[in-house]
Chains A and B, each alone.
Chain A
């Protein structure tokens, strides 16, 4: 019934992705300066959101840990940035975050949904306060400087991380592990009885999703040039991916990308246009998205498309 549409997609989607990728790669050459930094920050949010969706999308476990992984990446970059070359630092940032995720996952993924959310949120604060305590009592200073990196390099590294994140998200989704994750989200008990090693699968996926966040944190820190525990472990970095994913719609892979791109851009605009009302507008968007867009922007678009196309696929 849908064969024509599927065939069209087979040509369209990879072609469109390739065009977007080429355009993004050409950006620093054509429009250097502020645009590169702006698009770079949008890319960061897409990486955060998509890697959040890798784990939390299918399983339904709301993780508020991205800020912890992001912060660990940032600190890896601040501590090792002077001593080691950039690619190594980024890899270490990703691996360190992943190790943290594996440990946290092994400890907590047996917890029920809402406890997991609280726990991961508490984790961010725990690391922040431990680090603050350590910096004040042991080193006597607060914060660190990060080694400087050229803006275009940051941008290309970010683009590379984004491509890897998307690839990983796509491959996991397509594989039988993706299917298993989805069955965990639908009914964990049933998934256990179907022979899925639920705990191991959850922990490993959580670990994989953290790699990209840590790597993104490591490169993002070089743009900030100075970090302290409050900047690195800002809880907003945990909420933004959740909001962006829900806003875009977690049902499809392009939903979170769309949500992250739209919200990250409007965030930049809101911060510069309404610095005093930014949080208020952000909160209203969050509440409205939860109330009126249960399937996100993608759900809204599909609904509109159905209406425009005369409801031919209304029963599918």
Chain B
């Protein structure tokens, strides 16, 4: 019973991270229509930046949130304003934009990864922060994982409220449903799409910051998280932010259970779930 609880709580802790990563991708794909394969590279940038700030400048990882978040946001915003906006205006149909923007994001992946490997080198980086044991319902966890879960949940809820309650949030929802009509209704569509892409990048960056507190980070870590994010987004339903949030926790628990059985099989299990999902219910948990 205790091990079962242990596994489930570990899954929840992992799920918080997955949920945060997936919400970022969900924004980029659900609203901006960019299936951003370089999503994980923003996670990597966030993680390695936090590592540098902590080891070189002795800045608390949680404080570096105010540096990492805005930086990745601006990076994402600029990338959308320059690259994807141009692609959007030159694409004749949404389908063509989806495939060409996906390929362009592969190009971004290579560029960011190469620049990062020049800046940070291939070493695996890690540091110890808040690695104190916490007793929880008979099981032991390190405090940094709980902080991670807390941050992921707060950011997820805050963003959900932002989209559901504010004027800009309404514009984002309108743009997700029908960009052309939203534009006719006076929504500055280019701005909203770039904002969403920036928010997605910022969530990835913050997730990278949280990951660096718990796990070692390195230059080629991104793609694995991108794939997990894609699986969670499909699991939760494309474009649904609550869906991604729930999907993240579901996948986290599944991953934790499989890891308990055989650690080598967790990625294999993710792919199998993904394949089954695409075959049985491609619209996901919260999809229409």
With a CB–CB cut-off of 8 A, which chain B residues contact A133? 264-265, 268
Q: Which of A117, A126, A129, A243 sits near B102, CB closer than 8 Å?
A: A117
The reply to whether A122 and B106 contact each other, CB–CB distance below 8 Å, is no
Bitwise, A279-290 to B at CB < 8 A (1) or not (0) is 110111111001
Kindly provide the distance from the CB of A303 to the nearest chain B CB, expressed in whole angstroms.
15
The reply to whether A126 and B272 contact each other, CB–CB distance below 8 Å, is yes
Q: Which of A111, A282, A294 sits near B278, CB closer than 8 Å?
A: A111
Q: Which of B110, B234, B282 sits near A279, CB closer than 8 Å?
A: B110
Q: A118-B230, A137-B264, A291-B83 are in contact. Are A283 and B100 (CB under 8 A)?
A: no
With a CB–CB cut-off of 8 A, which chain A residues contact B234? 115, 118
The reply to whether A114 and B102 contact each other, CB–CB distance below 8 Å, is yes
A107 and B280 alpha carbons, distance in the complex (Å) = 11
Interface SS, B side: helix
The reply to whether B103 and A286 contact each other, CB–CB distance below 8 Å, is yes
The reply to whether the CB of A108 lies closer than 8 angstroms to some CB of chain B is yes
Bitwise, B32-57 to A at CB < 8 A (1) or not (0) is 00010000000000000000000000
A122 and B278 alpha carbons, distance in the complex (Å) = 12
The reply to whether the CB of A113 lies closer than 8 angstroms to some CB of chain B is yes
Kindly provide the distance from the CB of B21 to the nearest chain A CB, expressed in whole angstroms.
16
Interface size, A (range):
35 or more
Interface SS, A side: helix
Q: Which of B111-119, B126-134, B175-183, B191-199 contacts A (4 or more CB under 8 A)?
A: B111-119
The reply to whether the CB of A125 lies closer than 8 angstroms to some CB of chain B is yes
With a CB–CB cut-off of 8 A, which chain A residues contact B279? 107-108
A114 and B29 alpha carbons, distance in the complex (Å) = 11
Bitwise, A126-148 to B at CB < 8 A (1) or not (0) is 10011011001100000000000
The reply to whether A122 and B274 contact each other, CB–CB distance below 8 Å, is yes
A278 and B114 alpha carbons, distance in the complex (Å) = 8
Kindly provide the distance from the CB of B123 to the nearest chain A CB, expressed in whole angstroms.
15
A130 and B230 alpha carbons, distance in the complex (Å) = 20
The reply to whether the CB of B275 lies closer than 8 angstroms to some CB of chain A is yes
The reply to whether A113 and B98 contact each other, CB–CB distance below 8 Å, is yes
With a CB–CB cut-off of 8 A, which chain A residues contact B98? 113-114
The reply to whether A282 and B264 contact each other, CB–CB distance below 8 Å, is no
Chain B stretch 129-160: residues in CB contact (< 8 A) with chain A = none
Kindly provide the distance from the CB of B86 to the nearest chain A CB, expressed in whole angstroms.
6
Q: Which of B86, B87, B271 sits near A122, CB closer than 8 Å?
A: B271
The reply to whether B111 and A287 contact each other, CB–CB distance below 8 Å, is yes
The reply to whether the CB of B67 lies closer than 8 angstroms to some CB of chain A is no
Would you mind naming 7 contact pairs between A and B with Cβ atoms under 8 Å apart? Answer: A111-B282, A118-B230, A125-B267, A276-B118, A283-B109, A283-B110, A284-B107
Given A114-B35, A283-B111, A287-B111, 13 extra CB contacts under 8 A: A62-B103, A113-B98, A118-B35, A123-B271, A125-B271, A133-B268, A243-B103, A280-B114, A285-B107, A286-B106, A287-B104, A287-B108, A290-B87
Which are the 3 A-B pairs with shortest beta-carbon distances?
A283-B110, A286-B107, A283-B111
Which residues in B have some Cβ–Cβ distance to A below 8 Å? Answer: 35, 83, 86-87, 90, 95, 98-100, 102-104, 106-111, 113-115, 117-118, 223, 227, 230-231, 234, 264-265, 267-268, 271-272, 274-275, 278-279, 282
